[in-house]
Structure 1
Amino acid sequence: MSYRDVVSRRVLTWALVAVGARMPVAMAPLALVFLVRERPGGYSLGAALAAAYVIGEIVGAPVLGMRLDPARARPHLAAGLVAGAAGFAGLGALSGAPGPVLAAFAFLAGAGPAAAPGGLRTLLTSLVPGHAATQALSLESMLTFGVWAVSPAAVTGLALGVDARLPLLLQAVLMASSVVGLWFLPAGWAADGRDGQEERGASRLRVLARAWPVYVTGAASLSLLALAELVLPALLEQRGIGVGWAGPLLTAMSVASAAGAFVYGLRSWPGRLSTRSLVLMAGMSVAVTLVALIPAAPGMAAALALAGLLQSGAMLTRNLSLREVLPPHALAAGYSVMYAAVGAGYAATGSLAGALLPHAAPSTAILAGVALTLLLTSVGWWGETRAGRSAPDAGAVLPLGAAGGPEGAPVRGGRDPERRL
């Protein structure tokens, strides 16, 4: 297995488009807080705007993702990205507008491009040979974690050093530039030959519903990220450590995640995807638990780095599981539903931690979030195991974890189990 199979001019173009589409998403929550923090009740308003943005993502991803036409995805993706750029531009240009107006722009900025991550991921895997899908998804994860590592520093520097509106305007420009880049890529990707009308409506909903265990586990994986991001400053205060260390610690976690994605794509790994996911999620839970219990900053940094290293593998197994359980025509919609699910998991764990913090120590809030994550992981693993016991009907989509799928158990003799992706 090698990354050479994914190196091409079209993949490089895709990477530039993906950065333009995803950097604004990574910058959004912090940029919204900085935009209004000088107003009366600014931090509360900033939190409300960030919530409106996330709600827009959760609503827009499944609704718009299900409408993507595999053969003609470009106009749909472009329209969503233009809407997102308009939302960010409105926030930056009308920063003094009443809160409800800003919330509407934030919702538009979140909902408009919400189908783009799933569509771009599906497009990427169509640009590489089938056996290189794992490396392509690993490359995507490295790019994503790199963007998330750079974004907080970019937002903070621009908002505090120049103007609080500048990050939002830059986000609008970046997202608009990604629209231009789409015309240098294929208009869509190959489906499985089904009629476009047949792919819509109740039949597509039934197909997507088969992957519910993957969505549950995906929500669990980002729940731990919510704990790390939202409770870490309070935990540092509890330990008597400067809150300013939160940024470097989270950057270290993102860098470790990028490294984990690279390592995951270097070789094949034993066991079914559901088993790998369970092991990785258990390891992440242990690492985040150590973050809550270790009193010194170096130990917390090591635990966060370990959590990031394992998180990228867990996310990749979820994306590969969707490729296993969903037919080609439903992949983009499935990725979009996953996007909404992980956003809901992030919001649920963040809300739980926020409700507990006034009444319990930050370390206790983290442990409660870990317990919720383990519960979601167990439910997802149970669902995958239960689906794997059912033999697929002739011509039906294979159940999660089935050995006949593209990511089945390793074949005898140590050959690459992912070669058929």
Structure 2
Amino acid sequence: MADEVEQKVRTDEREGPLGYRELLARPGVRPWLLVTLAAKLPVAMAPLALVFLVRESAGGYTLGAVLGGAYVVGEVVGAPLLGARLHGAGLRRELAVGLAVGAVAFAGLAFCSAAPPLVTAALAFLAGAAPAAHAGGLRALLVAAVPEQAVARALSVETTLTQGIWAVAPALVAFLSLGAAPGAPLGLAACCALLAALGVRRLPRESSPETAEQHPAAGDPKTAGAAPSRARALAAGWPVYLTSAAAMALLATAELVLPALLQSRGLPIGWSGPLLAAFSASSVLGGLVYGTRQWPGGARAQSLVLLVAMAVFVALAAVLPGLAGIAVALLLAGAFKSGVMVTRNLSLRERVPSDMLAAGYSVMYAVQGVGYSLTASLAALVLAHAEPAAAVLSGAALTLLLTLVSALAERRPRTA
């Protein structure tokens, strides 16, 4: 068996990186795409869907914001707590249970819009918390389904899919809420989560032999025995988690401050929607381009360089004149966004044991939510006392500061 694995590894190395067509032909990859689509669409729809659900109620948009906050808090709490359970043979079972509970919570929200606010807030929290580990678990299953030299391209496919989902979700929510019923988007979210729960059980159980053999952080018995604890092993990825927070700081800056920035320039705020759609479309294209070749430098160095470039272009949106200047800056920032996402996932694989990747990805997912929320608070504080351009520059400065701290941490030798 060992000879067969070694021969397969040599064959893969001779063939070089898989193209997108060959990657999609790998066993388990296409089912993974379908399951991921069903699992991520509810997440992308939920915050706006909750606003549309209650906008005509007594609480109005204020209650919608509260429900959206409860959902995000559920994600932040659920991702690390449930993600720590994602390892070994029980990974797919845990994912399926979490998605199924999330489906029930989404269905409850869809049919209980007139319930007391505390009930709807509890359901929103549960809808965010129960399936929150799916991002880390599904990414770990994807990495396990492809050989080592195809991991970067596979993660590019995941990033492209994610950006595509986030680009269409707002329009889908508005169409269903206004054209069908206020609870229709949440009903669709419940159906998607349930389909994902059923589909995840059919995904491959374990990594293929050649994948496990090639993994740079493969958890052999010696390495596993040396690890003092799972918590300490997860904590080893903190510089990567920090870059995730930095990336979300930029995303929050671009999304939340853009309408105010346009208004301060005397431009119609209606342009914020098309500009953010273009930002996402540019990110989709950037993810595909990143996966087409091997880039110089390691994943960690690439992540830091791409993050700095993204921060610079977001900052340029605050100083370039006119609508065209803002559009060009956001398009260029979006082109680097997917590369940041892919490289930080690759970087985490180098710092966290292979049998804890799902948990590590889940922690990173939670940190992203924290980074977004803190930057939103910073933007609100700056906007209350300064021009929108200052809020954009503050978000970019925060990103650069976090990136610097992460870069310095990466240079320090890791202790065993």
Unmatched 5+ stretches in structure 1: 394-421
**What letter is aligned with 2:392?**
I
What pairs with 1:131-210 in structure 2 (closer than 5 Å)?
A: 131-189=149-207, 192=219, 203-210=229-236
Q: Cα deviations across residues 382-410 of structure 1 (Å, max 9, x unaligned)?
A: 111113xx5x65xxxxxxxxxxxxxxxxx
Q: Is the CA contact (8 Å cut-off) linking 1:28 and 1:50 kept in structure 2?
A: yes
Q: 1:255 aligns with which of 281, 298, 310?
A: 281
SS at match of 1:292: coil
Structure 2 counterpart of 1:340: 366
Question: Structure 1 pair 198/170, CA: closer, same or farther in 2 (3 Å)?
Answer: farther
SS at match of 2:286: helix
Inter-partner Cα distance in structure 1 for 2:226 and 2:372: 30
Give me the identity figure in percent: 54
Inter-partner Cα distance in structure 1 for 2:299 and 2:219: 24
Structure 2 counterpart of 1:55: 73
> What TM-score, normalized by structure 2, do the two folds share?
0.89
Q: Cα deviations across residues 339-370 of structure 1 (Å, max 9, x unaligned)?
A: 01111111110111122222222221111111
SS at match of 2:103: helix
What pairs with 1:215-234 in structure 2 (closer than 5 Å)?
A: 215-234=241-260
Inter-partner Cα distance in structure 2 for 1:166 and 1:302: 36
Displacement after TM superposition at 1:85 (Å): 1.0
> What TM-score, normalized by structure 1, do the two folds share?
0.88
Unmatched 5+ stretches in structure 2: 1-16, 213-217
Inter-partner Cα distance in structure 2 for 1:43 and 1:167: 17
Q: Is the CA contact (8 Å cut-off) linking 2:93 and 2:201 kept in structure 1?
A: no
Inter-partner Cα distance in structure 1 for 2:395 and 2:58: 32
Inter-partner Cα distance in structure 1 for 2:168 and 2:306: 25
Structure 1 counterpart of 2:3: none
Number of residue pairs matched by the alignment: 388
What pairs with 1:72-83 in structure 2 (closer than 5 Å)?
A: 72-83=90-101
Question: Structure 1 pair 5/76, CA: closer, same or farther in 2 (3 Å)?
Answer: same
Inter-partner Cα distance in structure 1 for 2:364 and 2:33: 21
Q: Is the CA contact (8 Å cut-off) linking 1:138 and 1:265 kept in structure 2?
A: yes
Structure 1 or 2: more helix by fraction: 2
Structure 2 counterpart of 1:26: 44
Inter-partner Cα distance in structure 1 for 2:318 and 2:291: 30
- Point out the more displaced range, 236-245 or 81-90: 236-245
Displacement after TM superposition at 1:149 (Å): 0.7
Inter-partner Cα distance in structure 2 for 1:198 and 1:339: 27
**What letter is aligned with 1:94?**
C
Inter-partner Cα distance in structure 2 for 1:13 and 1:152: 25
Structure 1 counterpart of 2:140: 122
Displacement after TM superposition at 1:305 (Å): 1.1
Q: 2:240 aligns with which of 195, 214, 217?
A: 214
Inter-partner Cα distance in structure 1 for 2:299 and 2:87: 28
Question: Structure 1 pair 194/40, CA: closer, same or farther in 2 (3 Å)?
Answer: farther
Q: Is the CA contact (8 Å cut-off) linking 1:5 and 1:128 kept in structure 2?
A: no
**What letter is aligned with 2:23?**
V
Structure 2 counterpart of 1:309: 335
- Point out the more displaced range, 266-275 or 311-320: 266-275
Inter-partner Cα distance in structure 2 for 1:70 and 1:224: 35
Q: Cα deviations across residues 207-255 of structure 1 (Å, max 9, x unaligned)?
A: 0111110000111011101111111122222222222221111111111
Structure 2 counterpart of 1:418: none
Question: Structure 1 pair 50/158, CA: closer, same or farther in 2 (3 Å)?
Answer: same
